[in-house]
Chain A
Amino acid sequence: MKKFTKRKEFGIILIILIMSFILTIVSSAFLKADNIIDILRNNAVYGIMAFGMLPVLISGGIDLSVASSIALCAVVAGKIMTVFDTNIVIVFIISMLVGALIGLINGLIITKLKIAPMVATLGIMTVTLGVVLLYTGGTWISGLPEYFKEFGMAKLGNIPTKNGLTLGIPSQVIILILSGVVTWLMLRYTLIGRGIYAIGGSEASAVRVGYNVDKIKVFIYMYSGIMTGIAAVVHTSIVQQVDPNTFLGYELTVISTVVIGGASTMGGVGTVLGTTFGIILMGILQNGLILAKIPTYWQKIVMGLVILIAISVDVINRKREQSKLVRVDVEG
């Protein structure tokens, strides 16, 4: 069993290793602690959203509204911080609540009106983004309070480096790791987590086994919304301003990250470990394009090809596994 799970992420691990190997050779800057930390910090936002998207995909659904939702959360969080004298915890909670609300709306439309997740979240995506940009006119929110700046630059650990800076794990990366752990615990050890896999495997059987499918589904979309709310604050803590337009196209990046990490858009499959590798792969890809000095006009081509190869290798690998299993069945 353990061997099998190892195998499932084998394809992506292989690609990550090959890429890292090449990058280490062509660039001396790649395999250094500060670069690795940078990769994680730069992808913390995508990563947290990916952990929120994972349960959605496992259940066989999809959430296209995350990009609009993070824009709304960031605008609300930014306004709260600039208008009220408050603290970081409250900011997080409010942003999570806003995200949860969007998730609740998604969940209710999907379960009560039986509209397909892709369509429901597409509609909510358009409406939410429209409202945000209509309200803000795209204007940035800046002048965020001091405590938030401190939070943005906070680090765990304090190893001095030669250029006078210190090396440590940034707060954003800690939140990324925490959200991964929470998602892992939720999927693995809770009844809801089991239910999510059950729904993704077969919704009808999940009903028959006695899961409250509607409730679980609403939870899934709210979970995705809450993660988006966290990601909104994390993003703002990195850039220290809120630009409502900056999140354009995030949904596709997040979904492809999760799916490259082995989750299926058909549902039933996907692990936190796989998603983690997905995040790492996408991070290395972005980072490596410049470190490997690939000419600008070739970068997108390389990116498209690597994505295509990564997903194909994964599928081919899985197919080979399956055919082996079939043979075992027949021979055994």
Chain B
Amino acid sequence: MNYIKKIQSKHSNEFTLTIIFIGIFILMGALSPDKFLSINNIKTMAFQMPEFGIMAIGMMITILTGGINLSITNGAALSAIVTAFILSSDFSETNPIMGVVLALIACIIVASLTGIINGTVIAYIGVAPMLVTLGTKTLFEGIGLNFTKGGAISGFPDIYSEIGNGDLLGIPIPLILYIVVIVISYLLIERSAWGTEVFMVGCNETATRFSGINTKKTLMKVYLFSGIMSGIASLIISSRYNSAKTDYGSSYLMQSITAVVLGGTSISGGHGSVVGTIVAIAIMQVISTGLNILGVNRYIVDIITGGILIVILAIRFISKEMADKKMIKLRSASSVK
């Protein structure tokens, strides 16, 4: 009990979110027990979550610094398009394995480049992240359109589809990728010196700079990380959908911001956790799949997601307010003594 209490007091937000997750899971299970709780459905969800989850982690780190990355979906689409060009080339047809390896490398390079472009303008020129990424969003979309002329690129080697659709010992490969990304992100963001700098920049960039940290470098790495995450997500997307196009995943932009904020990351930066984001993603996935199985109109799913966002944040505020009041009461009581 003591142990639980310790976790609970230290990670109260994650704890609350987890209970909400369990609650919604049980609720959905109760509403359609035979369908929602089937192994098949759980597996489907495990295939669906990673692409969105990885993108949301890429979004989260920029929000931690008080920034944002609005170009994340178009950056992902652009990397996927370049990947697709290599995968559908004659070279890949004759050497599928080499082709896939080359494509993977190219994907990460393009994704890193999108991150570096964002990072350079944000960190070194000093333009507001929202604005820069709004500009690069149009830019990346334009480049993608120029390459594809609006169409989809398909015709990949069969082996490539394993990344998004295959499983290893019954565990979906995307899920394995997702877990690896989560672990690495956790270590980098919450357990490394750079991670600490990220949080510090989010709290107060000027103060961080004056305490001798090269905030420009820190920020550059943040957007690079965000770009690479969008690249990994794009690999899963292009593999799962067996093609690449400029508007794939466009619906993930607002959704990923929602997930990050739901997970307890403060939109003004400096506060948040990887675990919180992961649980929030799981909550959104369960709501989406659960309501879909019930045959609920998609707009209602959107409305509910929006409603939940506000309700949870309101609860977070009210419970904090209550805790503060309790604290004041306790203190005033002790001072009277």
Query: Could you say which residues of chain A place their CB within 8 Å of the CB of B267?
Result: 116, 118-119
Query: Nearest-CB distance from A71 to chain B (Å)?
Result: 13
Binds B, one of A27-35, A75-83, A95-103, A252-260: A252-260
**Contact (Cβ within 8 A) A316 B125:** yes
B145 contacts the other chain (CB 8 A): yes
A84 contacts the other chain (CB 8 A): no
B217 contacts the other chain (CB 8 A): no
B135 contacts the other chain (CB 8 A): yes
A265 contacts the other chain (CB 8 A): yes
Which of A119, A134, A303, A311 makes the CB contact (< 8 A) with B261? Answer: A119
Within 8 A of A (CB), among B294-337: 297, 299-300, 302-303, 305-307, 309-310, 313-314, 317-318
Given A315-B127, A319-B126, CB of A308 within 8 Å of CB of B139: yes
Chain A residue nearest to B298 in the complex (CB) = A130
Binds B, one of A18-26, A191-199, A209-217, A293-301: A293-301
**Contact (Cβ within 8 A) B128 A312:** no
**Contact (Cβ within 8 A) A124 B297:** no
Chain A residue nearest to B257 in the complex (CB) = A122
Given A298-B146, A308-B132, CB of A130 within 8 Å of CB of B313: no
The distance in angstroms between the C-alpha atoms of A302 and B261, with both chains bound, is 33
Query: Nearest-CB distance from A64 to chain B (Å)?
Result: 9
The distance in angstroms between the C-alpha atoms of A249 and B313, with both chains bound, is 25
B contact residues vs A (CB 8 Å cutoff): 70, 121, 125-128, 130-132, 134-143, 145-146, 149, 254, 257-258, 261, 266-268, 297, 299-300, 302-303, 305-307, 309-310, 313-314, 317-318
**Contact (Cβ within 8 A) B128 A127:** no
Given A113-B313, A118-B267, CB of A265 within 8 Å of CB of B141: no
Query: Could you say which residues of chain A place their CB within 8 Å of the CB of B297?
Result: 134
| 21 interchain pairs, CB-CB under 8 A | A113-B310, A114-B317, A116-B261, A120-B313, A122-B257, A122-B309, A127-B302, A130-B303, A130-B306, A131-B303, A133-B299, A297-B142, A297-B145, A300-B138, A301-B139, A301-B142, A304-B141, A305-B139, A308-B121, A311-B132, A312-B121
A264 contacts the other chain (CB 8 A): yes
The distance in angstroms between the C-alpha atoms of A315 and B126, with both chains bound, is 7
A280 contacts the other chain (CB 8 A): no
Query: Nearest-CB distance from B266 to chain A (Å)?
Result: 7
Interface of A is mostly: helix
Query: Could you say which residues of chain B place their CB within 8 Å of the CB of A113?
Result: 310, 313-314, 317-318
A292 contacts the other chain (CB 8 A): no
**Contact (Cβ within 8 A) B139 A300:** yes
Query: Could you say which residues of chain A place their CB within 8 Å of the CB of B143?
Result: 301
**Contact (Cβ within 8 A) A126 B303:** yes
The distance in angstroms between the C-alpha atoms of A312 and B136, with both chains bound, is 12
Which of A122, A124, A307 makes the CB contact (< 8 A) with B258? Answer: A122
Query: Nearest-CB distance from B111 to chain A (Å)?
Result: 17
A231 contacts the other chain (CB 8 A): no
A239 contacts the other chain (CB 8 A): no
Query: Could you say which residues of chain B place their CB within 8 Å of the CB of A53?
Result: none
Query: Nearest-CB distance from A319 to chain B (Å)?
Result: 7
Query: Could you say which residues of chain B place their CB within 8 Å of the CB of A255?
Result: 130, 134
The distance in angstroms between the C-alpha atoms of A126 and B70, with both chains bound, is 17
A109 contacts the other chain (CB 8 A): yes
**Contact (Cβ within 8 A) B261 A259:** no
Query: Could you say which residues of chain B place their CB within 8 Å of the CB of A127?
Result: 302-303, 306-307
Given A301-B139, A301-B143, A315-B126, CB of A123 within 8 Å of CB of B306: yes
The distance in angstroms between the C-alpha atoms of A316 and B139, with both chains bound, is 21
Chain A residue nearest to B63 in the complex (CB) = A118
Given A130-B299, A130-B302, A311-B127, CB of A300 within 8 Å of CB of B310: no
Given A116-B266, A122-B254, CB of A256 within 8 Å of CB of B309: no
A88 contacts the other chain (CB 8 A): no
Query: Could you say which residues of chain B place their CB within 8 Å of the CB of A173?
Result: none
Query: Could you say which residues of chain A place their CB within 8 Å of the CB of B268?
Result: 116
Query: Could you say which residues of chain B place their CB within 8 Å of the CB of A154?
Result: none
Query: Could you say which residues of chain A place their CB within 8 Å of the CB of B134?
Result: 252, 255-256, 307
Given A115-B310, A122-B309, CB of A134 within 8 Å of CB of B299: yes
Chain A residue nearest to B139 in the complex (CB) = A304
Query: Nearest-CB distance from B59 to chain A (Å)?
Result: 13
Given A115-B317, A312-B127, CB of A307 within 8 Å of CB of B135: yes
Given A130-B302, A307-B138, CB of A259 within 8 Å of CB of B128: yes
Query: Nearest-CB distance from A118 to chain B (Å)?
Result: 5
Query: Could you say which residues of chain A place their CB within 8 Å of the CB of B266?
Result: 116
Query: Could you say which residues of chain A place their CB within 8 Å of the CB of B138?
Result: 300, 303-304, 307
Query: Nearest-CB distance from B20 to chain A (Å)?
Result: 16
A129 contacts the other chain (CB 8 A): yes
Query: Could you say which residues of chain A place their CB within 8 Å of the CB of B314?
Result: 109, 113, 115
The distance in angstroms between the C-alpha atoms of A274 and B127, with both chains bound, is 17
The distance in angstroms between the C-alpha atoms of A85 and B266, with both chains bound, is 49
A125 contacts the other chain (CB 8 A): yes
**Contact (Cβ within 8 A) B139 A297:** no
Query: Could you say which residues of chain A place their CB within 8 Å of the CB of B132?
Result: 308, 311
Chain B residue nearest to A309 in the complex (CB) = B135
A266 contacts the other chain (CB 8 A): yes
Query: Could you say which residues of chain B place their CB within 8 Å of the CB of A119?
Result: 261, 267, 309, 313
The distance in angstroms between the C-alpha atoms of A303 and B141, with both chains bound, is 11
Chain B residue nearest to A62 in the complex (CB) = B130
Given A113-B313, A122-B257, A308-B132, CB of A252 within 8 Å of CB of B303: no
The distance in angstroms between the C-alpha atoms of A113 and B318, with both chains bound, is 8
Query: Could you say which residues of chain A place their CB within 8 Å of the CB of B128?
Result: 259, 264-266, 311
**Contact (Cβ within 8 A) B306 A126:** yes
**Contact (Cβ within 8 A) B136 A311:** no
| Per-residue contact bits, chain A 231-264, to B (CB 8 Å; 1 contact, 0 not) | 0000000000000000000001001100110001
> A122, A304, A312: which has the most chain B beta carbons within 10 Å?
A304
